[in-house]
Amino acid sequence: MRTVSNFPIGAAMRFLPFSDDPELQRLQKHHFDSYTAGNDMKMYNIMPKEGVFDFSVTDAILEYTQENDQRLFGHNLIWHSSTPPWVKEKARENPDWLSSFMKSYISTYVGRYRSFVHGWDVVNEGLRTKGSGYREDSIWYEVLGSRYIEQAFFYAHEADPQAVLFYNDFNIERDLEKFNFMIDMVEDFIERGVPISGIGFQMHIRMDTPNGVIASTLQRAAATGLQIHLSEVDIIFNRHDDTRGGGLQIRTSLTPEMEKAQAQKYYDLAMIYRSVVPSDQQYGITLWGFNDRDTWIRPFFGIQDWPTIYDERLQPKPAFFGLLNGLR
């Protein structure tokens, strides 16, 4: 895929199983030229305890990506869901501490990988799950208010002025209220000189997410002039309510018709991206894992589904060829 695409093609991988799996590595090297860490670069792994930075896995990932000529993408700096318990406890006891912690965390982490990590999801999922408004169930919002979002961008930019800095979120391709709130926030950032350089659409979509809606939100996002990253693509047949364990099983097996329809959907997604996002704003398409054996969808939502382009036996599905043709 990397050879037919005009922009980087990425996959998110959890490094520890991945680095022990030669077949997965072979496929990853063959098809992808951008690497996102599945969980390894999240705060609870980088700073599991107060005062302890653990960069060992990220260093190993960087070595791997450099050996294989791949772009390393940083996921993520500030996210309510990957904030370790010790940070939440300490922030509640001593609210003044959180802002200085955020600054030192970002400066140390981004600074260490300055010019090696190409871009970062600086803030992930800072908005409410549905509709408009900031996410209130976040220690960052609770203690610092909405200003933590722009502060995180300033700190990241200071630590690496070349890094491409993203605001990343889910459902913004289909929840128009959420999308509008996000765009207003981003446009306000641009106007006030907050150093944001891109919008990440996670793009955990469903077979029934309308193509027309995806095209129009991507087009409006691209009108900001920022980089546009499809940062966590997968396509499910079933449903969930966006919470852990909240799956709704509708289809219990994968039929050839479903596989064909999914291939078309992957094709459509690539074509929409290519046609509505100007080429100099195409930061790339990243898949959140690329096989149905390891997909996060099954354990996280507690459903059986087939969201990716490779099956459980690491064989390419029709979806693989759909995506490939869409990129071509």
What residues act catalytically?
125, 232
* Contact between 120 and 77 (Cβ < 8 Å): yes
Residue with tokens 């990957």: 82
Nearer to ligand XIL, 116 or 300 (CB): 300
| Least separation in angstroms between CB 306 and ligand XIL | 16
Taking the C-alpha atoms of residue 78 and residue 293, their distance in angstroms, rounded to an integer, is 28
Helix (H) or strand (E) holding 263: helix 256-276
Nearer to ligand XIL, 45 or 202 (CB): 202
Which positions lie near ligand XIL, rule CB under 6 A? 38-39, 124, 202, 232, 296, 300
| Least separation in angstroms between CB 38 and ligand XIL | 5
* Contact between 74 and 120 (Cβ < 8 Å): yes
Nearer to ligand XIL, 73 or 153 (CB): 73
Q: What angle do CA 139, 45, 54 make, to 5 degrees?
A: 120
* Contact between 48 and 95 (Cβ < 8 Å): no
| Least separation in angstroms between CB 232 and ligand XIL | 6
Rg (CA), the chain: 19
| Least separation in angstroms between CB 218 and ligand XIL | 18
AA identity, residue 259? E
Tell me which residue has its CB nearest to ligand XIL.
Answer: 296
Integer CA distances (angstroms), 302 to 203, 241, 298, in order: 19, 11, 5
Nearer to ligand XIL, 39 or 304 (CB): 39
